[in-house]
Structure 1
């Protein structure tokens, strides 16, 4: 979830018009977690990870958005308690992952599990604070340990920075990092940054892809690194 994520209508999705599979369960790590007072006060639900605990790919977002309680069923993790179940971003990233053949081999989560409400507008997200990221990082590390994926697919700049922070590394130039795999020695996993689904229509062309080529590039990158160790 990027800061000030626009409320873009899912009907504009370019990946496919078919709905992806909707998750039926979630991986609850700490019921009623209250590590972050501001997040605890403003959330509806903790947005826990969903998917196969034996998955080769873990898809990581930044944090759930406010969501839409009237959507059916894509209300968003803030209302469903399940990561990446929003009408736009959740549905789109799941379409992408299914479309490249990893729909049954992916686990979805966020670096921060609760909706970070903007104090001036509680229906709009703000960027999580460094303390909130740090408080929640152990949840993400637990998920990565439990799933033990081959690849972390980080959606957007903020998710990529958070994963790198677990490696004590920083990010310089997100756009240049897209689809450039990075071996994370401490996490024992490949990190593959991709565009956040809310912004991909804007940036795909600037990266030199059309939508179909972009999806093919994601699929080829995952195929190359799933099951491979350091060095490919």
Structure 2
């Protein structure tokens, strides 16, 4: 069993997220589900970059908007563009297998991409396209408020920590504000290079350990008489 070293930084970040989540719930009356639906409507109407001219459907993301795990990929491919859902091609099947390996399914996490429209010919999104779409992604992160953001590939990791090579940092959580960024290879990379598959599987095991660490931490409770229970993972109940 792989073990993540629970450092002081990890403990403090997990505590900060729990505390902020409690305060947010006390002050916010809009449900994450409603917020995510509204963001999806905005994405469907977006014409901020030229990708809207060639898209079939926008791919805002899907999953549980109350989840503590958020996956961020690169951009939709051909299958995603046709169906309007993220990770439904070969890379998506591998992602489903990796989630199943740790007792999860895609309806227990939230999955999205850096850009919400398919770049033509499955090319990489340009910096301008990523910048144009960043407001949508930032709104999703704020609405979902995950404890752990799993970045799949170099583009999504670069949003939070630009300039660091994914091969050197994958599988190691990094504190970002009150959250953790957990970098991994993109599943598509393992399809092109099967030798990466065991590393991806190892990283998903480490992800499970990190999430369980958050789940097992004492929850900070507000003294408000209208106290709302803090966010619970509840992802691995059998």
TM-score normalised by the chain length of structure 1: 0.68
User: 2:176 matched to which residue of 1?
Assistant: 184
Q: Which runs of 4+ in 1 moved over 3 A?
A: 201-207, 209-215, 224-229
User: 1:158 matched to which residue of 2?
Assistant: 155
Please point out which of 82, 85, 94 is paired with 2:85: 82
Please point out which of 133, 140, 146 is paired with 1:143: 140
> Secondary structure at 2:111's aligned position in 1?
strand
Please point out which of 141, 165, 168 is paired with 1:173: 165
Output the CA distance in 2 between the equivalents of 1:160 and 1:227: 27
Correspondence list, 1:63-82, <5 A: 63-67=75-79, 76=80, 78-82=81-85
Q: CA deviation at 1:47?
A: 0.4
Output the CA distance in 1 between the equivalents of 2:137 and 2:45: 16
Correspondence list, 1:1-232, <5 A: 27=37, 28-30=40-42, 31-37=44-50, 39-67=51-79, 76=80, 78-84=81-87, 86-103=88-105, 104-117=107-120, 124-162=121-159, 164=160, 169-185=161-177, 188-200=178-190, 205=195, 209=198, 213-225=202-214
User: Larger Rg: 1 or 2?
Assistant: 2
**Unpaired stretches in structure 2, ≥5 consecutive residues:** 1-35, 219-238
Tell me if the contact between 2:91 and 2:191 (Cα under 8 Å) persists in the aligned partners: no
CA distance 1:212–1:138, change in 2 (3 Å): closer
Aligned length, in residue pairs: 179
Output the CA distance in 2 between the equivalents of 1:57 and 1:113: 19
User: Larger % of helix: which?
Assistant: 2
Q: CA deviation at 1:65?
A: 1.0
> Secondary structure at 1:46's aligned position in 2?
coil
Q: Which has the higher contact order (CA 8 A, sep 6+)?
A: 2
RMSD, aligned CA: 2.6
> Secondary structure at 1:199's aligned position in 2?
helix
TM-score normalised by the chain length of structure 2: 0.67
